Copies of this chain bind each other. A is one copy, B any other.
């Protein structure tokens, strides 16, 4: 089944290139498009975190449909695309939980958003404790290793 989606805003920040890692000091402005009323963000400052859904629209690498070594690192196991957070995935959608910094009018500033400048945003959802994992989160060694420099 196919669906059409339309961006609801745009990311503005200092990251201009499609590169992994070192997102720790990036602060991003998400500015709503003019076809959305400013009140779509009303009340967001009563939450500490929001999940931002966005489109990896600058990706030029071929889409991975099967399984590959994460970041091409053969020290890590070959795993399926739905077991990775890789950009060049079917539907090119990213989803990242961010820290809310401030809201002004039709703009929301966030930390911990790993999307580059001018990335189209397709949704913003508040983070509620009730939707976070209740049981312990388990993951293999490779995904912990991959994150070593991510938020530095």
> What's the Cα separation between A41 and B47 when bound, in Å?
34
Question: Could you tell me if A129 and B137 are in contact, using CB atoms closer than 8 angstroms?
Answer: yes
Q: Nearest chain-B residue to A151 (Cβ)? A: B130
Which residues of B have CB within 8 Å of A79?
42-44, 46
Question: Could you tell me if B123 and A90 are in contact, using CB atoms closer than 8 angstroms?
Answer: yes
Q: Which are the 7 A-B pairs with shortest beta-carbon distances?
A: A43-B79, A130-B147, A82-B124, A48-B138, A40-B80, A42-B80, A39-B67
Which residues of B have CB within 8 Å of A132?
97, 132-133, 137
Flag whether A77 is at the interface (Cβ < 8 A): yes
Which residues of B have CB within 8 Å of A66?
37, 39-40
Question: Could you tell me if B67 and A122 are in contact, using CB atoms closer than 8 angstroms?
Answer: no
Q: For residue A61, give the distance in angstroms from its CB to the closest CB of chain B.
A: 17
Flag whether A78 is at the interface (Cβ < 8 A): yes
Q: Count the A residues whose beta carbon is within 8 Å of the partner chain — how many?
A: 73
Which residues of B have CB within 8 Å of A122?
3, 90-91, 93
Which residues of B have CB within 8 Å of A55?
1, 3
Q: For residue A44, give the distance in angstroms from its CB to the closest CB of chain B.
A: 5
1/0 per residue, CB under 8 A from B, across A88-100: the answer is: 0111110111010
26 pairs, A vs B, C-beta closer than 8 Å: A1-B55, A1-B57, A1-B120, A2-B5, A37-B67, A40-B81, A40-B82, A44-B80, A47-B138, A47-B139, A48-B136, A50-B82, A53-B91, A83-B126, A85-B128, A89-B123, A93-B122, A93-B123, A95-B95, A97-B131, A99-B133, A99-B135, A128-B147, A129-B139, A130-B143, A130-B151
